[in-house]
Amino acid sequence: MKITSRICLILLCFGVSALAADQSVVLKAARMFDGKSNALVQNAVVIVQRDKIIDAGSNLPIPNGAQVIDLGDATLSPGFIDAHTHLTLDFSGDYNLRRLKEVDLNVSEQAIIATAHARATVEAGFTTVRDLGSHFVGSREFVDVALRNSINKGVIVGPRMLVATKGIGATGGHFDPTSGFRDFLFGREPDYTDGIADGPDEIRKAVRFEVKNGADVIKAAVSGGVLSLADEVDTPQLTPAEMAALVDESHRLRKKVAVHCHGDQAAHDAIEAGVDSIEHGSFMKSETLTMMKRKGTFLTPTLMATEWIMSKLENYPPALQAKAKSAAAARSEMFRNALKLGVKISFGTDAAVFPHGQNAKEFKLMVDLGMTPVDALRSATASDAELLGIGQKVGTLEKGKLADVIAMPGDPTSDITATERVLFVMKDGKVIRRGAPTVQGISESTTPDIAAPVD
Ligand SMILES: [Zn+2]
């Protein structure tokens, strides 16, 4: 009898804990952007069990015993995705001071700082990021892989990350980590272990090395860039044969390829080689954009990056100011052309060029250049999920998807800056934020619920 009652007690305990784990959480709000429809759904209800959405729609009945979180006059949305971040880095302050820090701080300290970037990003509503490059001059550490794994294991709080490890590029190109420093300062010329590769065979070796060390996606620089000292912003930096090797080797290993590219010629060659997305694309002409449309290549415009640099020009050396000005002058027309031609546009910001956590400011820049608010929201949800190859799991609010759900006040289709005031974040069915953010002083921001800027 005694034994039986003990067993009963044990079963009861199991029963109770199973019930708690299976308890539904119901999110209610005045409206919802579901990632699929062109119009917002009114009287929105999203039902979550464990890490999944079990139903989403208008006026759905509340399951018995469910915990209800009523967010009131707000809009639910799939968690935002930023397809272009650098969570392990921060280029947002004075350029030369940053270069000093790069050689001054040890990589462990930079990794600890990155944990705050990760938290600021997810608390801003970005539950997934494609993190496109993480390198530390003179170091072989893979901080982005460590960050991704620690988030996945629940050691730290941050967005789901797809990481690129070191960007691949040519000697002296945009990704050469020793460019601008005295020759031999770091004791050797960088090689494929730093992402620096010349010739198709070395490019293949770099791709294999990165996948071996945990890359989910391959990033390469095919043209010059703004924040690099030894190149012109729009010159091609990989040959067509090198680009073909890059794409072939990456796709063979089932990894997508994102390429940093401002110049038109380099973009043309990269699209022809079959890359999955062009990052920035500032100088792309109509013929190149037409080719993107035909091949289904995504454009990730990163409007925030140029916007930030142009607003803080005094932080950069004169040579970089000139490059930033020419890229900024070209990119608005390029973006309008891309919209007109129906190029697939993904949402990506280049966070690190500006302080982490301000990613949502990209929405207003897109809308100001003619994108509809719903299309802008779709770019950061369903479209980015497609580009990242994770559309089966995230990007829309519907049955079977992972429960990445955020809420913003009011109606983002009448005021897109509502995206900058996210007030609720759930990732994988766990509430990460409800109310004020926990990270203070990481980001300068105009939003009233974030602390005053520190630096
Ligand atoms: Zn970038």
pLDDT digits (tens, 9 = 90+) for 250-298: 999 999 999 999 999 999 999 999 999 999 999 999 999 999 999 999 9
CA 85 to centroid of ligand 1, rounded, Å: 6
Say what angle helices 143-152 and 107-123 make with each other, to 10 degrees: 50
Residue 85, strand partner residues: 131, 351
pLDDT for 2 beyond 70: no
Q: Is the pLDDT of residue 109 over 60?
A: yes
| Mean pLDDT in residue range 420-442 | 87
Give the tens place of pLDDT for each residue, 44-101: 999 999 999 999 999 999 999 999 999 999 999 999 999 999 999 999 999 999 999 8
Distance CA 24, CA 160 (A): 23
Average pLDDT over residues 447-455: 32
Query: Is it the case that residue 118 has pLDDT exceeding 50?
Result: yes
Ligand 1 centre and the CA of 106: distance in Å? 22
In which band, very low, low, confident or very high, does the pLDDT at 231 lie, cut at 50, 70 and 90? Answer: confident
Distance 43 CA to ligand 1 centre (A): 39
Taking residues 99-120, report their average pLDDT.
Answer: 94
Cα 448 to ligand 1 centre (Å): 28
Expressed in angstroms and rounded, the spacing between residue 47 Cα and the centre of ligand 1 is: 36
- CA of 132 from ligand 1 middle (Å) equals 6
Which residues lie below 8 Å from residue 448, measured CB to CB, with a gap of 6+? Answer: none
* CA 89 to ligand 1 center in whole angstroms: 10
Share the mean pLDDT of the chain: 92
Asked whether the CA dihedral 79, 394, 51, 56 is positive or negative, the reply is positive
pLDDT at residue 440 in the model = 54
Instruction: Check whether 450 has a pLDDT greater than 60.
Output: no
Rounded to the nearest angstrom, the distance between the alpha carbon of 59 and the centre of ligand 1 is 42
> Which residues are within 8 A (CB) of 4 and not within 5 positions of it... i.e. 6 or more apart?
none
pLDDT grade for 380, boundaries at 50, 70 and 90: very high
pLDDT in the model for residue 20: 60
Strand partners, 427: 430
Per-residue pLDDT reduced to its tens digit, 6-51:
544 444 444 444 446 679 999 999 999 999 999 999 999 999 999 9
Distance CA 31, CA 240 (A): 48
Q: How far apart are CA 227 and CA 98, in angstroms?
A: 12
As a residue count, the chain comes to: 455
pLDDT, tens only, 338-375: 999 999 999 999 999 999 999 999 999 999 999 999 99
315 close to 301: Cβ distance less than 8 angstroms? no
Structure tokens at 24: 């539904």
Span 406-423, pLDDT tens digits: 999 999 999 999 999 999
pLDDT beyond 60 at 445: no
CA of 355 to the centre of ligand 1 (A): 13
Q: How many angstroms does the Cα of residue 332 sit away from the middle of ligand 1?
A: 18
- Rounded CA-CA distance 246/258 in Å is 10
Which range has the worst mean pLDDT, 17-21, 117-121, 312-316, 378-382?
17-21
How far, in Å, from the CA of 440 to the mean position of ligand 1?
24
pLDDT-derived band at 102 (thresholds 50, 70, 90) equals: confident
Query: Going by DSSP bridges, is the β-strand pair 430-434/424-427 parallel, antiparallel, or unpaired?
Result: antiparallel
* pLDDT score, position 21: 61
Show the tokens assigned to 66.
């469910």
> How many angstroms separate the alpha carbon of residue 280 from the centre of ligand 1?
9
Contact 151, 180 (CB under 8 A): no
Residue 410 is predicted with a pLDDT of: 98
Query: Full-prediction pTM beyond 0.85?
Result: yes
Distance 433 CA to ligand 1 centre (A): 27
| Nearest in space to 249 (alpha carbons), one of 210, 208, 194, 202 | 208
Ligand 1 centroid to Cα of residue 392, in Å, is 26
Query: Which burial class, exposed, middle or buried, applies to 138 when counting CB atoms under 10 A from its CB (0-12, 13-18, 19+)?
Result: middle
Q: How far is the CA of 91 from the centre of ligand 1 (A)?
A: 10
Q: Which residues surround ligand 1, an ion (CB under 5 A)?
A: 350
Q: How far is the CA of 129 from the centre of ligand 1 (A)?
A: 12
Q: How far is the CA of 413 from the centre of ligand 1 (A)?
A: 28
- pLDDT of 441 > 60? The answer is no
Q: How far apart are CA 80 and CA 394, in angstroms?
A: 10
Give distance in angstroms: CA of 66 to centre of ligand 1.
43
Average pLDDT for 215-237 = 92
Q: Is 50 exposed, middle or buried (0-12, 13-18, 19+ CB in 10 A)?
A: middle
Mean pLDDT of 438-450: 44
pLDDT: is 245 or 234 the higher one?
A: 245
**Mean pLDDT within 438-451:** 43
Which pLDDT belongs to residue 1? Answer: 41
Cα–Cα dist 279/186, whole Å = 29
- Distance of CA 356 from the midpoint of ligand 1 (Å): 13
Whole-number Å distance, alpha carbon 6 to ligand 1 midpoint, is 60
The two tokens of residue 55 are 């139903």
Q: Which residue has the tokens 């990270």?
A: 439
Is the pLDDT assigned to residue 148 strictly greater than 90?
yes
